[in-house]
Chains A and B, each alone.
Chain A
Amino acid sequence: MIDSLVWLLLLPLAWATLAFVLGPGRGAWLAIAGLAAQFALAVDLARKVAAGGVAAHVVGGWGAPLGIDLAADGLSAAMLLLTQGVALPLAIHARAYFKAGDPAGVWFWPLLGFLLSGLNALFVSADLFNLYVTLELVGLAAVGLVAAGGGTQQVAAALRYLFATLLGSGAYLLGVALLYGAYGTVSSATLLPLVTAEAPRLVWIAAGLMVTGLLLKTALFPFHFWLPPAHGGAPAPVSALLSALVVKASFYLILRLWLGPLQALLPSFAWLLALLGAAAIFWGSWQAIRAVKVKRLIAYSTVAQLGYLFLIFPLLPAPGALQAGVMQVFAHGLAKAGMFAAAGVMIKATGQDTVAGLAGAVERLPVTFFAFGLAGMTLMGLPPSSGFLAKWQIIDAALAQGHWVIAVVALAGGLLAAVYVFRVLRQAFLQAPAPDTATAVPRTLEWTAFALAAASVLLGLRGVELMQLVTM
């Protein structure tokens, strides 16, 4: 029988290596075939987990404490599903986006594979040190993707991103080292009963270091400084991957620590994180509203949407809060991937990337702007989108516990999202003479963006299954 858990790690590694051996710019079909298989594996794993709880694998037959344990519960299975589900349409998009000989796409396929195998490994790692290694794998592959364009701005953004991500994982590693010094283990399951609220100060410092490092990698306000240049400057398919998946990996890790080994300590920081999340929503939205370039606007919107993820922490005692967080991860992942993909089409078609330059573009790119609008609907939280479901659950959990402030912030964030989404749409619907620089774009580019955005809306109709999976 095929062990989906293991093959989800091995497949991307295999096709990434093959794509590298094939040479610059090759390996697109290999990646798409591999991703299709991975998607099937992720669905299979989610089915198994939904039916029978946790799936586990002991690498090489060497169990903890010496070996590496892999385990997937409902949360892991959901994240794996999202990762393959976003990456597959984006790979089809990227094949059309990177024409043969485009310098930005030369090493895209191997880097994509390494990024995905790092992400998949992160979602199933069961010990804190292995999580560190996967975190670094994801970070290094992502930096490579940002630098792919090769221009001064991209290389500078990649370096800035690299230093931020190394600083973040360095702090996380020091925290792990202190925890090992205190308890002599890094296994999440073994640490769980050992770490109590009466833990020595050293353990509190360790927890603080780990969470701060991860916040830096998740780009929570005020650690978001590296995100807009990195996500706004990279080629559109890369921006989509980074915004939809990579920042979610470190958020997932915070959530894991919160629900797992550090659950006795971290709730003391819940309101601090929620406060930073609220600040991120307002600051990110404000910057998106006044951004000149389309991709900067979307990158700042990511800063804002990440803020929602941190609103759930004071609510976590309630059962709905975790589901709301995961729903927001899915909603933003799908919508933002679709939005960046759509922005890539706009930039290719109009030859420049300012919001002002989109005047009248809706006539030439109706499908793309429909996709942008659908993704915007999810970001605003309009029913029946998955974004609506996420915000509704956050507000519901907040009101049930009497924290109406969180409900107000969530509602205000939705209104601000409407402002920046309609800024783009309004410009697109203006009457403008057709410019001479317009270029035709392949249909595949438009329809993959549309598929992602539509999925973010339609997920709202099938949200119950996802929420059941998360609680497994």
Chain B
Amino acid sequence: MTSGLLFALVGAALFALGVAGVVLIDHLLRRILAFNLMGSGAFLVLVGLAQRNGVPDPVPQAMVLTGIVVAVAATALALALTRKLHALTGRLELPEDADD
């Protein structure tokens, strides 16, 4: 097994863990952490799979940098909304949807 494939497999496992977290966990902070885990998994696949004969490919590294910026922005937005929800309801879980 090459190191690139190992990176990719770990990345896929992290992604799956992250998805499970985002879907199953109610606590919002943990959910945000799970989202970050998911993103890191995808980045690891992107960087890991793209190695050719042990020489890293620079293009996916640039993509991952862009991806990290997006993930930071999304995390900041999620944290801001979570804080707002906490200020309004005093809880860190989503309330039930009122209209259904």
Contacts and interface: CB of A to CB of B under 8 A. Distances in A.
Interface of A: 65-66, 129, 132-133, 136, 140, 143-144, 147, 150-153, 155-160, 162-163, 166-167, 170-171, 173-174, 176-178, 180-182, 184, 186, 228-229, 232, 292-293, 296
Interface of B: 8, 11-12, 15, 18-19, 22-23, 28, 31, 35, 38-39, 41-43, 45-46, 48-50, 52, 57, 59-60, 63, 66-67, 70, 73-74, 77-78, 81-82, 84-85, 88-89, 94-95, 97-100
Nearest to A176: B46
Contacts of B38: 167, 170
B42 A159 contact: no
Contacts of A144: 77
B73 A140 contact: yes
Given A160-B94, A170-B39, A173-B42, A296 B84 contact: no
A171 B23 CA distance: 13
Contact of B84 (A66, A132, A155, A292): A155
A170 B38 CA distance: 7
A156 B94 contact: yes
Contacts of B88: 151-152, 155
16 contacts: A140-B73, A144-B77, A150-B84, A151-B88, A152-B95, A162-B81, A163-B78, A170-B15, A170-B19, A170-B35, A173-B67, A177-B11, A180-B46, A184-B52, A232-B99, A292-B99
B99 A228 contact: yes
A174 B15 contact: yes
Contact of A174 (B42, B94, B99): B42
Given A170-B42, A174-B12, A293-B99, 8 more contacts: A152-B85, A152-B89, A166-B35, A177-B43, A177-B46, A177-B60, A178-B45, A181-B8
A2 B20 CA distance: 48
A395 B57 CA distance: 49
A284 to B, nearest CB: 14
Contacts of A173: 39, 42, 46, 67
Contacts of B78: 159, 162-163, 166
Nearest to A186: B63
Contacts of A133: 66, 70
A228 B8 CA distance: 37
A283 B89 CA distance: 32
A369 to B, nearest CB: 23
A151, A167, A293 — which one has the most chain B CB atoms within 10 A of its CB?
A167
A155 B81 CA distance: 6
B49 A181 contact: yes
Contacts of B60: 177, 180
A156 B92 CA distance: 11
B19 A167 contact: yes
Contact of B94 (A151, A159, A232, A292): A159
Nearest to A161: B81
A152 B63 CA distance: 36
Nearest to B8: A181
Given A152-B89, A177-B46, A180-B49, A136 B22 contact: no
A181 B42 CA distance: 12
A387 B66 CA distance: 40
* List of 9 A-B pairs having minimum Cβ-Cβ separation, nearest first: A181-B49, A177-B46, A177-B45, A174-B42, A173-B42, A152-B88, A136-B70, A155-B85, A170-B38
A174 B49 contact: no
